[in-house]
């Protein structure tokens, strides 16, 4: 079964039109645009064959218009009607895709000097003075955000207020 789908905004206007089968119109994967958070905002119209679904997709995009061309409200970047369903790749094509993907992996090579520098940084601990400065900065930030007399709680036990700074 093939279908066309419309993704709707909260006000009911469409923002994306697509053609699919199975769960294509219900998932975020393989889409440039986010799908609606609720399935209530997805309209689906079934078609007997893929050609009819492509024709309906092209009609809906032409009817509502594309926003990137300044002619409508849809986020689609094409006029629809393209794409293949159920494409079967040859073994050679699969091997080419696999080789391309392996070449894309970037291997980070670090010198021994850089690795040793990173190891030393991981072992560093804050001094007591640095810890106190961090506490004071955090208290100021929290006081500015939540007010001077914000009460600090840990579980059910009251620890202190920021005004007293006894933590």
**45 to 4, 26, 35: CA distances (angstroms):** 5, 13, 17
CA distance 58 to 55: 5
The domain segmentation of the chain, as residue ranges, is 2-69, 126-167
CA distance 9 to 75: 12
pTM over 0.85: no
pLDDT tens string, the chain, 167 residues long: the values are: 899 999 999 999 999 999 998 888 888 877 888 899 899 999 999 999 999 999 999 999 999 999 999 999 999 988 988 876 666 778 988 888 888 877 766 666 788 898 888 888 887 788 899 989 988 888 888 777 776 665 555 554 445 554 454 44
CA distance 59 to 4: 11
């Amino acid at each position: 079964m093939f279908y066309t789908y419309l993704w709707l905004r909260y006000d009911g206007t469409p923002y994306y039109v697509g053609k699919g089968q199975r769960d294509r119109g219900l998932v975020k994967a393989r889409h440039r645009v986010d799908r609606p958070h609720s399935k209530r905002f997805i309209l689906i119209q079934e078609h007997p064959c893929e050609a009819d679904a492509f024709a309906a997709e092209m009609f809906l995009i032409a009817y509502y218009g594309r926003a990137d061309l300044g002619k409508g409200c849809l986020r689609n970047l094409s006029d629809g009607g393209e794409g293949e369903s159920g494409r079967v790749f040859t073994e050679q094509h699969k091997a080419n895709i696999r080789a391309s993907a392996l070449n894309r992996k970037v291997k980070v090579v670090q010198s021994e000097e850089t690795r040793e520098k990173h190891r030393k940084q991981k072992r560093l601990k804050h001094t007591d003075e640095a810890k106190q400065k961090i506490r004071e900065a955090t208290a100021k930030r929290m006081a500015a955000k939540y007010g001077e007399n914000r009460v600090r709680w840990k579980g059910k036990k009251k620890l202190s207020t920021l005004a007293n700074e006894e933590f």
